[in-house]
Amino acid sequence: MNTQAAVPAPAPQGFRHASTQVEGATIHYLIGGRGPPVMLLHGWPVTAYAWRGVAPALADRFTVIAPDMPGFGDSGFSSKGYEKQVIAEEVRDLVRQLGFKDILLVGHDMGGVVAFAYAAEHPQEVRKLALVETLMPGFGLEDLKATGAWHIGLAQVPELPETLVAGREREFLSYFYKRGILRPGAVGEAELSEYFRTYTAPDHMSASFDYYRALKADAPQFRAMVAAQKLPMAVLAVGAERGLGSGADSFRPLVEQLREVIIPASGHHIPDDQPQALAQVLGTFFAEP
């Protein structure tokens, strides 16, 4: 079942809603702008709507695509599961359907894990990679359970978390938005309603937890992906002043070219919290030779 509660929020100015069938899922996405393609992959517990402030700021120089990853937002569920290599291939199928051969790739949070898998599996198809508030399975992500990210352990339990939050999705998700966003008014009632609209749709909360349940399988896959060769493209690790940090220490053994940037006055959800600062950092990184 994939029934949505209402229509999506209006697309940012210059963007439009679209959807396509890829192998394994139906993907809904926002697209706009002109120039080289930039793919923006969102984290948890948000949707492509999180890029509403970042995407327009990049659209004067880039064609920006922001999909709801399978199982999130207005996309369908993945019939192949939620291991990050699987999701990366479904996103890659979208890229190819849009007629692009290589992309500039950005991932935040869980979207960063998918972005890393994409770049590791298809390094010649990713010009540059930006990982925003991201850690990797097998390289530190699992250890967050001991540092206050209690939801990672909860989300990995089969069936229990969706049972506990059923009918209380607003209260459960609000906890993460309020703790991960510092800027007052960054996520108001209208923004919350858009996120709640899809997370309260049948089976969507469960699918979002499946991304965490797949981490156990992801960890050895990620170690294997980087065992033979480091990522060859330039990689930017972006952290928040009051978030996880850049994650650069966990990336350094995995990539050839790495730099890091910390966004001041931001919590973990940088795309919501400091979209203009993030867009400026990304634009500068992508414009460099």
- 223 neighbors 136 (Cβ within 8 angstroms): no
| Residue 6 resides in a domain | no
Give a yes or no: residue 186 inside a domain: yes
Averaged pLDDT of the chain: 92
- φ/ψ of 187, rounded to 5, equals -130, 100
Total tally of structural domains belonging to the chain:
1
Contact indicator for 38, 104 with CB cutoff of 8 Å: yes
Nearest CA to 212 out of 113, 118, 129 is that of 113
CATH of the domain at 133: 3.40.50.1820
Is 93 a member of any domain? Answer: yes
Q: Going by C-beta distance under 8 Å and a sequence separation of 6 or more, which residues neighbour residue 270? A: 108, 132, 133, 238, 240, 243, 263, 277, 278
Residue 7 lies in a domain: no
100 in helix, strand or coil? coil
In a domain, 3, yes or no: no
Q: In whole angstroms, what is the distance from residue 24 CA to residue 201 CA?
A: 20
Convert the pLDDT of each residue in 223-239 to its tens digit: 888 887 899 999 999 99
217: in domain:
yes
pLDDT, tens digit, 9 for 90 and up, residues 13-57: 999 999 999 999 999 999 999 999 999 999 999 999 999 999 999
Strand-pair partners of 25: 22
Lowest mean pLDDT among 114-118, 122-126, 129-133, 179-183: 179-183
Residue 135 within a domain: yes
Domain range holding 216?
15-287
Q: In terms of pTM, does the model score above 0.75?
A: yes
Give residue 186's identity as a one-letter amino acid code.
Answer: A
